[in-house]
Structure 1
Amino acid sequence: MSGHSQFSLLTQRRFLPFFIVQALGAFNDNIYRQAIIGLLFYLGVSTEERTLYTNLAPALFILPYFLFSALAGQIAEKLEKQRLIVITTLMEIVIMSLAAIGFLTQNMPVLLIALFCTGLQSTLFGPVKYSVLPSILKPEELTGGNGLVEMGTSISILTGMIAGGMIFALAGSQGPIVAAVAIITLALAGNLAARLIPRVDAGAPDLKIHWNPLRESLAVLRLAKKQKAVRNAILGVSWFWFFGTILTSQLPTYAEVNLGGGSTLYIVALALFSLGTGTGSLLCEKLSGRIVEIGLVPLGAFGMSAFLFDLYFARTGTASVAGLDLAGFLQQPGSVRIVIDLLGIGLFTGFFVVPLFALIQSRSPRSEMSRVFAALNIQNSGFIVLAAGLGLLTQTVLDWSVPQLFLALAIANVVVAVYIFTIVPEFLMRFLSWVMVHTLYRLRVTGVEEHVPDEGPALIVCNHVSYMDALILSATIPRPVRFVMYYRIFNIPVMRWIFTTAKAIPIASPKEDAALMQRAFDEVDAALAEGELVCIFPEGALTRDGQIAAFKSGVEKILARRPVPVVPMALTGMWSSMWSRRDTRLGRMRVPRRFRAQIGVIAAPPVEGTATGAAQLEDKVRALRGSEA
């Protein structure tokens, strides 16, 4: 839209310092955790002792998420967010100083205590990490901003693991010193970046903090279930962590046993998945048209399973060779297919998770958002533990191979996706709408971002050219819209399900159904009273000649009851579509004259509802559309 790039956010102070803070935090955490493993090998501890530490470390890191997420959510709600970020990065400096002592003295208990504290610091930072984005980004920037954050997190985790694992391999006896200096330096850099973040007001400064962890954990979990779409978006994000935990935890064994490589090939496999996830996260803004497009979630879910199914069939058995490096692996038959599968799984994972984060942010009240993300962290940690347990169970008790586990995960992913999309049909509805609009047309949007209010009620008025008008407008307006439409269009097969799921409001003329017309006006008023966007087509019917018909008085009745701002819009290029009345019914069944034709949506500045009428709005829409039908 309008040549915008999400990367422009990286040049702006409202976003860049925050992006740096969260990326450095993820980078430092993973350097620290991998350096601990490197120290164990450097010290030459026994295999049994090393196994104990490597299993204990993740448990210590994740335990604070269970214990303190509810408290963290309340604190993030109550405090000014920039101040809280500075506090958490100061905590990181203290914790990493303790960890540095552990490295210098080669004291594992101290390192594990610091690791628990790192988990505590991450727990406090988690709710503010995502709840701050709606305060510093515009609604149309949420998808792109979340894509950048997910990309930054994926790359930071990957590079942190690589850098942390290389410290003792390259520095040798100087490894403890290098590790200590690195983690303290990164913590200091994060704190400096945090001080550059602009002030972000607290969501609920008068909130009373409750300290009972169990009771408050249950309270925030209940809070997150208030809206069905948000509740199931949270379920989807937790499933993303379950899916990712199982997949990435099996990559070391998969690289060795099934691909015939070693630690280097494992890092390559992890890098492919991470790069795919980062790329998919960045592509979400382009594919969504800068709105919160949850239609990408089903696409992501089924793409994840498709590539994971193919990964299973690409290499079902053990490798016939061993000790391969990257070059040696790429020379093996089927290696390119495996590379594409790992990239594809990551790519569609990005499509899956970024819109879910944006949905949670756009649908949760600002005064509750931090606690909603606290509930998300609690649920995420539970799914991560469950994934680790099931991965261990299937391999030690059921004796599954890694490809068999991948196959089971692909099937489970389809089942979970179908379950989520069945209980919240809005996801599937948006997917069908997205596919239809982006298959048939190329959208050119002008003025929508600037003139549609970011929040609060507003009435949108637009010319009515085709049966696709509501879907096209919903694909371009950043906020959810309630459409008022002629009941015969509302009742078109298949489209009826889409319109019903989108909470469209059917209307009829008083001669056809006076009761339905009155219900429609009552629903419109109720929606505006709730602060929603409502779109009407004041012509009352599809155009029969491509021209704009006179606007009827219904718009004036709506504004008389509730004088909200009115945003005039115009559709262009739709008259030649098979979805208009230009042709006969038989003619409309043909492929459009211009497949992937470019169509336009143009918006004008809002006008006060008390100072306008049907005739004035008609003139504005005519001027917007110009001579193009």
Structure 2
Amino acid sequence: MSHPSQFDLLKQRRFAPFFWTQFLGAFNDNLFKTALVVALAFDAKNWTDLAPSLVTNLVPGLFILPYVFFSATAGQIAEKVEKGSLARIIKWLEIGIMGVAALGWFTHNLWLLMFAILGMGTHSTLFGPVKYAYMPQHLKPEELTGGNGIVEMGTFVGILLGQVFGAVIVAQQPNGVAWLAAATLFFAVLGLITAYGIPLTPAPQPALKINWNPFTESIRNLRFSAGNRSVFLSMLGNSWFWFYGAIVLAQFPVYAKDYLKGDDSVFVLLLTMFSLGIGAGSLLCEKLSGRKVEIGLVPFGSIGLTVFGIDLYLASQGYSAPGQVNFASMVMQPGAWRIILDVVMIGVFGGFFIVPLFAMIQLRADPQHLSRTIAGMNIMNALFMVVATGVAILLLKQGFTIPELFLATAIMNGLVAVYIFSLVPEFLLRFLAWILIHTVHKVKTVDADRIPEEGGAVLVCNHVSYVDALVIVAASPRPIRFVMDHRIFKTPFIGWIFRTAKAIPIAPAKEDPWLMEKAFVDIAQALHEGELVCIFPEGKLTRDGEMSEFKGGIKKIVERSHVPVIPMALRGLWGHLLSRSQDNLLERAFRKGFRSQLSLAVGQPVAPTDVSPELLHSQVAELRGNWK
């Protein structure tokens, strides 16, 4: 069945005014910020005596400083106030801030402009919780990845256009600053107009009493978010991306000028390539995720950020230019296209990294606390970006070149990724599942929406190969606790994966009665906590492709935990290299071929009172049919 394109959301009132409001906010932020950075980097002597590399790191640091102090308050306000009205109030504030900036441009007063940078940081701090808490109130769960992809695309296209126009307008002499002041005021007013189209979005907690102390509320926010491990670590991953991005993007002006021997158009080219990459990666997420929240893309994105970050350092060593170049002549220099490709791919993999994290936070956070969760994430983002500014300044003072700074950041990204994914094995498990179904096999799911999105349930399935669990994980919108033969836990690689994913080991009663009883206790606990549990009732892999009888353990499980049972059938895995087919390995490999077709069919839920091994066996057999 075909699904509406994610771009269809742009035709709907529930999404379009909100999208254009946030787009114009991102555009105007960067129109102003970039104009100031370019003025200070390429015309520093007319503005300040400070070193350009110091100032270009200081401006983004000042912009994100309000996130540290005001995010907790902004989150509470977004929980208490209807979001459409709040968006309009914030847009009125933006008009006032751009008025102060205009005065700074006309009077050539750097401190007024720095004050306006703080003001726009405050504007963005207030809008952040509205931006990401708005979508779950108006979008269906299957629309979240696509909606977030469009918003991230729009954000970075807005950033790109703002940066391009900011760099171009401020360079126009002698009227650049006048045009810039007028443009920022115009787009602030345009953002206000679109905000008046945002539909009613009721406050989740209108009776909330606001704690105006930002420090105690920030601590309380982060403590609450830390109670949901997967959400908190997703927030941590999101903040790490902004650490990475803050370091890389802050170096582009001086990198373009001193290392690529470019004028301001080369700086604009780098920003354009990065932003287009982010936009493309964000939009691709819906297609690659199959219209669900697919956190398996996060490790994929992290790998790309490290690989292309390292290659950007290597590519910089091979670049040379005889003198100052503009963007047209820069691309003709030796090594230029490799640098451009690296910048684009850092953006693409950044999109793969960040969009699923946003969607996961929105889906799994407490709806009554979502705005404050987003505010908590913004606090973390701000702290990480402030630290990023400090790290960049420190390393540059220690003698690091900008390409060496790219290298150090990429290596740090690899180390942080390993740490985060070791803490949340679900990321790794879903990554392996995603790789399996997007490289080795084509997997078709039938009625996968029958897997419940919340609440405890038992999934039962035929057992064909050692990759059965990965195929099922790839089809499920939620984490699954697998019940597996204890001997699999002793295998070097597969066992480690499922141990870290909190699978439940089980043994036959005659072999280890204590472990068997413990397994049933662990299953009951998981179901009581509303988790999905998957078992293979045959108790062993098939040796001939046919289904064996189902054991009686499933009956014991539902007697303890009155939850529905979902029958499922895997089709097409018999003869897989990791099945127990006795055919020749080489013959099996060629018979299946590359990108072989698999299918997972999901049946109607069975009420716990109707469950029996025989009934479930017949339903799974019917779902499977003759396709082994």
Residue of structure 2 equivalent to 1:502: 501
Q: CA offset at residue 264 of structure 1?
A: 0.4
Aligned pair in 2 of structure 1 residues 603, 126: CA closer, same or farther (>3 Å)? same
The letter of the residue matching 1:430 is R
Aligned-partner Cα distance in 2 for 1:584–1:489: 22
Residue of structure 2 equivalent to 1:478: 477
Residue of structure 2 equivalent to 1:554: 553
Aligned pair in 2 of structure 1 residues 35, 436: CA closer, same or farther (>3 Å)? closer
Q: Does 1:525 align with 2:527?
A: no
Residue of structure 2 equivalent to 1:153: 155
TM-score for the superposition, normalised by structure 1: 0.89
Aligned pair in 2 of structure 1 residues 405, 628: CA closer, same or farther (>3 Å)? same
Aligned pair in 2 of structure 1 residues 482, 419: CA closer, same or farther (>3 Å)? closer
Contact 2:459/2:565 (8 A) holds in 1? yes
Contact 2:319/2:333 (8 A) holds in 1? no
The letter of the residue matching 2:86 is L
Aligned pair in 2 of structure 1 residues 588, 368: CA closer, same or farther (>3 Å)? farther
Contact 1:578/1:588 (8 A) holds in 2? no
Unaligned runs of 5+ in 1: none
Q: CA offset at residue 136 of structure 1?
A: 3.3
Aligned pair in 2 of structure 1 residues 85, 320: CA closer, same or farther (>3 Å)? closer
Task: Determine helix, strand or coil for the equivalent of 2:455.
Answer: coil
Aligned-partner Cα distance in 1 for 2:126–2:186: 21
Deviates more, 1:338-347 or 1:103-112: 103-112
Q: Deviations over 1:116-151 (max 9, x none)?
A: 332222111112322333333344443333222222
Aligned-partner Cα distance in 1 for 2:301–2:44: 44
Q: Deviations over 1:395-450 (max 9, x none)?
A: 3x3233222222222222223223333444443343334334433211112221x3
Q: CA offset at residue 225 of structure 1?
A: 2.5
Residue of structure 2 equivalent to 1:322: 323
Residue of structure 2 equivalent to 1:126: 128
Aligned-partner Cα distance in 1 for 2:83–2:611: 41
Residue of structure 2 equivalent to 1:594: 593
Contact 1:139/1:478 (8 A) holds in 2? no
Residue of structure 1 equivalent to 2:221: 220
Contact 1:481/1:533 (8 A) holds in 2? yes
Contact 1:538/1:551 (8 A) holds in 2? yes
Aligned pair in 2 of structure 1 residues 180, 608: CA closer, same or farther (>3 Å)? farther
Aligned-partner Cα distance in 2 for 1:426–1:290: 18
How many pairs are equivalent? 626
Aligned-partner Cα distance in 2 for 1:174–1:128: 33
Q: Does 1:250 align with 2:247?
A: no
Residue of structure 1 aligned with 2:72, choices 70, 73, 84: 70
Residue of structure 1 equivalent to 2:22: 22
Contact 1:291/1:476 (8 A) holds in 2? no
Q: CA offset at residue 485 of structure 1?
A: 2.6
Q: CA offset at residue 452 of structure 1?
A: 2.5
Contact 1:577/1:592 (8 A) holds in 2? no
Q: CA offset at residue 550 of structure 1?
A: 4.1
Aligned-partner Cα distance in 1 for 2:472–2:184: 49
Aligned-partner Cα distance in 2 for 1:337–1:174: 33
Q: Deviations over 1:203-249 (max 9, x none)?
A: 44554321211111222222232344433333322221122122112
Residue of structure 2 equivalent to 1:393: 394
Aligned-partner Cα distance in 1 for 2:362–2:146: 13
Residue of structure 2 equivalent to 1:33: 33
Deviates more, 1:283-292 or 1:2-11: 2-11
Contact 1:481/1:532 (8 A) holds in 2? yes
Aligned pair in 2 of structure 1 residues 594, 3: CA closer, same or farther (>3 Å)? farther
Q: Does 1:165 align with 2:167?
A: yes
Aligned pair in 2 of structure 1 residues 523, 198: CA closer, same or farther (>3 Å)? farther
Contact 2:90/2:126 (8 A) holds in 1? yes
Aligned-partner Cα distance in 1 for 2:275–2:162: 12
Contact 1:14/1:198 (8 A) holds in 2? yes
Q: Deviations over 1:313-343 (max 9, x none)?
A: 2233884422212221122122221221212
Residue of structure 1 equivalent to 2:375: 374
The letter of the residue matching 2:473 is S
Q: Deviations over 1:474-502 (max 9, x none)?
A: 01111111222333344433111111122
Aligned-partner Cα distance in 2 for 1:407–1:37: 24
Contact 2:29/2:120 (8 A) holds in 1? yes
Q: CA offset at residue 201 of structure 1?
A: 4.6
Contact 2:319/2:335 (8 A) holds in 1? no
Aligned-partner Cα distance in 1 for 2:196–2:458: 41
The letter of the residue matching 1:566 is V
The letter of the residue matching 2:465 is S
Task: Determine helix, strand or coil for the equivalent of 1:71.
Answer: helix
The letter of the residue matching 1:364 is A
Contact 1:257/1:319 (8 A) holds in 2? no
Aligned pair in 2 of structure 1 residues 55, 404: CA closer, same or farther (>3 Å)? closer
Q: Deviations over 1:138-169 (max 9, x none)?
A: 44443333222222211111101112233344
Aligned pair in 2 of structure 1 residues 260, 73: CA closer, same or farther (>3 Å)? same
- Note the 1:564-575 alignment, pairs <5 A: 564-575=563-574
Contact 1:140/1:478 (8 A) holds in 2? no
Q: CA offset at residue 597 of structure 1?
A: 0.5
Aligned-partner Cα distance in 1 for 2:610–2:398: 72
Aligned-partner Cα distance in 1 for 2:187–2:180: 11
RMSD value, Cα: 3.3
Q: Does 1:406 align with 2:380?
A: no
Aligned pair in 2 of structure 1 residues 212, 526: CA closer, same or farther (>3 Å)? same
Residue of structure 2 equivalent to 1:61: 63
- Note the 1:263-412 alignment, pairs <5 A: 263-316=264-317, 319-395=320-396, 397-412=397-412
Unaligned runs of 5+ in 2: none
Q: CA offset at residue 262 of structure 1?
A: 0.9
The letter of the residue matching 2:392 is G
Contact 1:465/1:543 (8 A) holds in 2? yes
Aligned pair in 2 of structure 1 residues 592, 142: CA closer, same or farther (>3 Å)? farther
Aligned pair in 2 of structure 1 residues 318, 331: CA closer, same or farther (>3 Å)? closer
Aligned-partner Cα distance in 1 for 2:243–2:216: 25
Aligned pair in 2 of structure 1 residues 585, 138: CA closer, same or farther (>3 Å)? farther
TM-score for the superposition, normalised by structure 2: 0.89
Aligned-partner Cα distance in 1 for 2:232–2:601: 34
Residue of structure 1 equivalent to 2:441: 441
Q: CA offset at residue 302 of structure 1?
A: 2.8
Aligned-partner Cα distance in 1 for 2:137–2:103: 38
Residue of structure 2 equivalent to 1:236: 237
Aligned-partner Cα distance in 2 for 1:90–1:606: 52
Residue of structure 2 equivalent to 1:458: 457
The letter of the residue matching 2:579 is S
Aligned-partner Cα distance in 1 for 2:473–2:480: 7
Aligned-partner Cα distance in 1 for 2:491–2:550: 24
Task: Determine helix, strand or coil for the equivalent of 2:334.
Answer: coil
Aligned pair in 2 of structure 1 residues 255, 174: CA closer, same or farther (>3 Å)? closer
Deviates more, 1:163-172 or 1:32-41: 32-41
Aligned-partner Cα distance in 2 for 1:401–1:67: 32
Aligned pair in 2 of structure 1 residues 624, 10: CA closer, same or farther (>3 Å)? farther
Q: CA offset at residue 588 of structure 1?
A: 9.6
Deviates more, 1:260-269 or 1:302-311: 302-311
Aligned-partner Cα distance in 2 for 1:330–1:59: 31
The letter of the residue matching 1:509 is P
Q: CA offset at residue 569 of structure 1?
A: 2.4
Aligned pair in 2 of structure 1 residues 524, 87: CA closer, same or farther (>3 Å)? farther
Task: Determine helix, strand or coil for the equivalent of 1:511.
Answer: coil
